[in-house]
Chain A
């Protein structure tokens, strides 16, 4: 097990000072023990989720990956709620993917994406906590020779009611491990929750304040060498020729290697020396068929798709084309969304140790099991002889989930140097060039209004890239990517359209460029919400109606969508005058959507100067995720979502020229910084009754709320992101 250590609040000062006291210059001892050295049966494991040590320490196992989103703390809260343990004694650890494999997936799915951590595992982790409590109570009752029904547990103490005797979890843990797990595991009524629903401080803050948190990039193993790598920047290209003579003579260089047929790596004693030598390798690429590909050329392909006769249908009712033909007024617009890089602050990296018998990998991953599968394949060994140690992620955002291209590379390097651990780190440039990019799409929207300005028909034609086609092509059925319609589905409870439109057609003409796509935080909800929510504003304007009133008239059958929209409208006093800021008039824009099981809405307040300078002053956001496990963490995810969403809206774009991405670092791939960050006010509707995700949905309302506010301010519709290309001076 990889222990995720965190001091309790009480122990903070002592633990931190001892960590610094033990600090020594020079190379550290290995920070992560191998699984074999630890032995998972050496501790009193009540069940796979709960270990209780004799000193009453409670170890809660977390199968999902913590990457900043707070799932570690939220999942621990869910287990501890049912366990009735003392929260101050809780610590956590990751089971490894190899252990999950060996124990028949006892911990279930380890994938951490799609805002799934809590909403997909709340039931079984709570049952894990409840089952452990039942066994601990039974063990105490057995010891006293009384009925378990006469005993209760609270705060890690078990009490026998009639006699008043008590004991602690730690004292009966060993006995509890020998009991048969209960078959019937009732869970608490949510109204009795004590930990769930509370803004409990997260468990992983202290080590992030003093440099002691270890990320994949920080890992050190005895005898380790470091690798820098450069793959063909034209996707699909290969190595042509390599001249490595100069590089091989440079200080510290041990090896210059081919990795697969498309990348060159330098292995050296330090990463900086490896990187410096890599820059000195002369590589000639065989760029292949994509050598002349460009964003401009692909835009023409997508444009053709906007009017193509064939498209996969995502949502249809009535006859949209007939309604449009018979409309009193027709509105039409074309929108576009570019490629974008996840740009995790920690670049991709993995440490691999390969021998003919076994392969181990240490890496920040959102999906330990997928990392294990990639390791086994690259190692040429069965998964049972491989192991992946999950290391804390310096950002994930989807890049570290579905595709483990960097793990395969690290293993491919290590395989050429058996018995030596190799830590491979991507430079920022490599990370930018070798992304798995936000899909590029366009959308043509056509709406029909009757004489009273009511929406009678809508046709929404999406044209462009499919993530699923790039990553899980086996999930494409009859040319249809089911994930392409996120936020636009008729039903399903996951990502449904919030409007009832009498005649509706939403379809997708799939057009895939050679740029590899990835699940980018928010996935397809991002562009779909922009397309729909900005066009709803256009329709309202064409109908001469207030954007809020226009939406509300279509939302009668969508009460949860409406509730979050109403919540933000009420909070900003929609319709009331805004106060100028620094002499600039302030304008509002709205957006709402449904994704990852949660309902979200936002109202942005912006001003645009005479020179066309945009300032986003304030955003009010509402989230209904049903059960809100840790409201403070949800608020942090909402705030962070606006940084991610506004970065995408204002600045971030990856363009292709000569087959390769043009933006190689943060100087050209710009993201939001503090000077542009608006104030964010978060409303959490604790409606209960369902479990929605929170890490992603709010991103999707950031851009449309701002774009609609810009229209209110300037009369200009910005339909192609990023905004940096737009002239916002009033027309």
Chain B
């Protein structure tokens, strides 16, 4: 494989992972922006955050996700945006793992605020590991992005 082929492949991968991240953050942000009370309940179910912070997080986190998604589209302030995106994904994963080991069987509140009758914590965790890998991959590949 020639250098130009490698370069093209890496550029393509950089764009693909960045757009995948945009899709994830948009899909996560929009339903929660319009149902903050339900999202607050999802956060409360994790029993991690003090009560005084639950509503503030429920209000601001979806907007942070949306702002990060928009900045990823424009590839504006990329290092800061990738750092925030991956920090959020890491915190979400840590919260899920913590809930799982405390025996909580809850809705993850990741993409929807609707109540699921049979939440699958293991699936949520596997999915979040994949998202985090995607986020880290996107950050590492960013220098190959044609927009960089």
Judge: A and B partners, yes or no.
no
B→A interface (CB under 8 Å): none
